[in-house]
Amino acid sequence: MTLDEHWVPQDPASAEPNAYYRPGTGTEEREGGTIHFEVRELLDAAVDPNRFLTQMRVNVIVTKDTEAPIDRTVICYPGWGETSAIFTGDALDVLMEAIKRDGSRNPRFIFPNTGGRGTYTAADRNWASTTSFRAAMEDARRLPKELLSRGELIGLVSVIGHSMGYMNAWSFIEGLLEEKAKNPAAPFNLQSITGLMPATDEALGTVSPRFLGAVAKHVWPAAKCTATGKSLSVSPEDYNALMFADSSHPDRENFKRSVPDSGRVFLEWAARNFARKPLPENDWTEVRANILWAGQEALLPDKMGINEARFLRENGVKAHYHTLQNFSHAIPYKMSEEQKTELLNHWVALI
The CATH fold assigned to 4-347 is Rossmann fold (3.40.50)
Q: How far apart are CA 43 and CA 31, in angstroms?
A: 33
Whole-angstrom distance, CA of residue 10 vs CA of residue 103? 40
Question: What is d(CA 161, CA 167) in angstroms, rounded to the nearest whole number?
Answer: 7
Instruction: Burial-class residue 100 by CB neighbours within 10 Å (0-12, 13-18, 19+).
Output: middle
> Measured between alpha carbons, how far is 94 from 341 in angstroms, rounded to an integer?
8
Eight-class DSSP state of 349: T
CA–CA distances in Å: residue 46 to residues 57, 123, 149, 173: 11, 21, 13, 18
Instruction: Report pLDDT digits (tens) over 313-335.
Output: 999 999 999 999 999 999 999 99
* 237: exposed, middle or buried (Cβ count in 10 Å: 0-12, 13-18, 19+): middle
Specify the pLDDT at position 302: 93
Q: What is the rounded distance in angstroms from the CA atom of residue 267 to the CA atom of residue 269?
A: 6
Residue 141 CB contacts under 8 Å (≥ 6 apart), including other chains: 171, 172, 174, 175, 178
Query: Using only C-alpha atoms, what is the Rg of the chain?
Result: 19
Identify which of 101-105, 244-248, 322-326 has the greatest average pLDDT.
322-326
Is residue 351 scored above 70 in pLDDT?
no
Question: Can you give the pLDDT at residue 189?
Answer: 95
How many CA within 13 A on the CB side of residue 231?
24
Reported as a pLDDT band with limits 50, 70 and 90, residue 43 is confident
Spatial distance between the Cα atoms of 88 and 215, rounded to a whole number of angstroms: 27
Mean predicted lDDT score pLDDT of the chain: 87
For the segment 194-225, what is each residue's pLDDT rounded down to a tens digit?
Answer: 999 999 988 778 878 888 888 889 989 988 88
What contacts 298, CB < 8 A, 6 or more positions away?
Answer: 210, 214, 241, 242, 244, 245, 328, 329
Contact 190, 177 (CB under 8 A): yes
pLDDT tens track for 119-161:
887 776 665 666 778 888 888 998 999 899 999 999 999 999 9
Helix axes 263-270, 133-149, angle to 10 degrees: 110
pLDDT confidence of 53, banded at 50, 70, 90? low
Alpha-carbon gap, residue 244 to 223, rounded angstroms: 24
Domain map (residue ranges) of the chain: 4-347
**pLDDT of 344 above 80:** yes
The helix, strand and coil proportions of the chain, stated in percent and rounded to the nearest 5, come to 35, 25, 40
Burial of 65 (0-12, 13-18, 19+ CB in 10 A): middle
Do 3 and 88 meet the contact criterion of CB atoms below 8 Å apart? yes
Q: Which tens digits make up the pLDDT trace of 32-42?
A: 899 999 999 88
Q: What percent of the chain has pLDDT over 90?
A: 55
Say how far residue 278 (Cα) sits from the centre of its chain.
21
Burial of 103 (0-12, 13-18, 19+ CB in 10 A): exposed
Q: Would you say residue 350 has pLDDT above 70?
A: no
C-alpha to C-alpha distance for 92 and 333, rounded to whole angstroms = 9
Phi, psi dihedrals of residue 227, rounded to the nearest 5°: -70, -35
Pair 55, 115: CB distance under 8 Å: yes
Interaxial angle between packed helices 90-101 and 337-347, expressed in degrees from 0 to 180 and rounded to the nearest 10: 40
The dihedral over CA atoms of 187, 89, 237, 325, expressed in degrees to the nearest 10, equals 80
